[in-house]
Chains A and B, each alone.
Chain A
Amino acid sequence: MYMYETKYHRPKTLAEATEIFAGCESPAYLSGGHTLIPAMKNRLVSPDSLIDLRRIPELSGLSVEAGRVVIGAATTHAAVAGSREIATAVPALAGLAGSIGDVQVRNVGTIGGSVANNDPAADYPSAMLSLNATMHTERRSIASDDYFAGLYTTALDEGEILLRLEFEVPEIAGYAKFRNPASRYSLAAAFVSKHRDGSVRVAITGAGSAGVFRWLEAEQALSARLVPAALEGLRLDPNDMMNDMHASGEFRAHLAAVMTRRAVENIGGVRID
């Protein structure tokens, strides 16, 4: 099957991008395209225009300065995975980025595309939610707790463009993921961050029936003691989990708890299975 015809645009500025978007009937923004292009090839979506954001200056850059990390939306997974600054400041994020897809996918896929799409099994949403990141768009700034709004749903308005992701360097963070052996997306994954104010945020991806979510009970337990034993006896409700051909709600509830424990066991790094 071939995708339907579309028109490709390569705006040089934000203003150009939003102007083109406003003038099209069914436009889509394009970043790495490794979710959108396959969807178009299968004719699941057929935007009449593709607006490539990757060369717009406001979406570029990666910095760690004065305890804050800022990552441009057009930054590839390979760049985050290979960044010395990220490896020093938040090694769990570098490890997470290095676990997405494969080498070729990581060379093209971007953090902005992942976060704007909010695939319920994607890796980055769990990191952004756990790290309490702020999503900066060309119109406003959105806190992570207000940003992730369900399966493939975010707080972004029509035409709104993610420019940068920003968060404070945590005291320590860990990530553990269990991949579907075929697709290699998460069946369940947990990103655990302990912040400088002592609070702990635990974000689970791959498992929730409404997408990425925070496991509040685990957060409370771990902010008292950031040790695996603190999670003993804590259970997720299978009815809140996704139930599909890959795994039942019970399986995911159990697996997500195991991933949370593994994230704590591997705090300061990652464990990818």
Chain B
Amino acid sequence: MSTVTLTVNGIEQSRAVEDRTLLVHFIRDHLRLTGTHVGCDTTQCGACTVILDGRAVKSCTILAAAADGSSLMTIEGLAKGGELHDVQKAFHECHGLQCGFCTPGMIMASVNMIERHQGVLDEHTVRHELEGNLCRCTGYHNIVKAVLQAAQKYRGEHGVAAE
């Protein structure tokens, strides 16, 4: 057992957990933030994607203890004051989800992608950088649309040229 402390969506959280506790279970079972999902056994599906110290990672393949002292953002940390984050809005407007199971992971990966590229994204790059996130419902088309729409909004707000 170890005490694991992370800053989660801006708030410091500490829990005593078994060392074998995966970060995804720390988030879901100990912090009761169940927006992050467990979708596979093989580190492939990305439904568990969160942003750890500014990087999109698969929380099912990281021990909570290994993330001790880090800062974490989950899907619950995106909306502010009851208003959806721009990426969430884009997924909604572009019908980028059906069952919604992959969606938190898709959104966290997309938030991180847009920031890393400063909103300068094309379809090819979006598809390539979402290779770590699998969706069984949508065929990805509207997910890509949603990311590109949110990226365009980001460029507009940050005064970034398209190229």
Contact = CB atoms under 8 A, between A and B. Distances in A.
Interface in B30-69: 41-43, 46, 49, 55-58, 61-63, 65-66, 68
A30 B65 CA distance: 12
A36 to B, nearest CB: 9
Interface residues of A, number: 28
Interface in B94-136: 109, 112-113, 129, 131-132
A159 interface: no
A34 B55 contact: no
B132 A102 contact: yes
A140 interface: no
Given A34-B43, A42-B41, A103-B109, A8 B19 contact: yes
Interface string A16-44: 00000000000000100110011011100
A208 B20 CA distance: 35
Contact of B68 (A10, A38, A102): A10
B2 interface: yes
A78 B55 CA distance: 10
Given A8-B2, A33-B61, A52 B43 contact: no
A158 interface: no
Interface of A: 1-8, 10, 30, 33-34, 37-38, 40-42, 50, 52, 78, 101-105, 107-108, 184
Contacts of B49: 104
Contacts of B43: 34, 37-38, 105
Contact of B20 (A6, A30, A103): A6
A10 to B, nearest CB: 7
B61 A103 contact: no
Contacts of A8: 2, 19, 63, 65-66
A103 B129 contact: yes
B41 A6 contact: no
Contacts, number: 72
Contacts of B55: 78, 107-108
Interface of B: 2, 18-20, 22, 41-43, 46, 49, 55-58, 61-63, 65-66, 68, 109, 112-113, 129, 131-132
Contacts of A6: 19-20
Contacts of B109: 103-104
Contacts of B18: 5
Nearest to B48: A104
A184 to B, nearest CB: 8
Given A8-B66, A41-B41, 12 more contacts: A8-B2, A8-B65, A10-B66, A38-B42, A50-B19, A102-B132, A103-B56, A103-B113, A104-B58, A104-B109, A107-B55, A108-B62
Contact of A104 (B20, B42, B56, B68): B56
Contact of B62 (A1, A2, A37): A37
B61 A108 contact: yes
The 10 tightest CB contacts between A and B, nearest first, are A102-B132, A8-B65, A107-B55, A8-B19, A102-B131, A104-B132, A104-B58, A37-B61, A5-B20, A3-B20
A7 B65 CA distance: 10
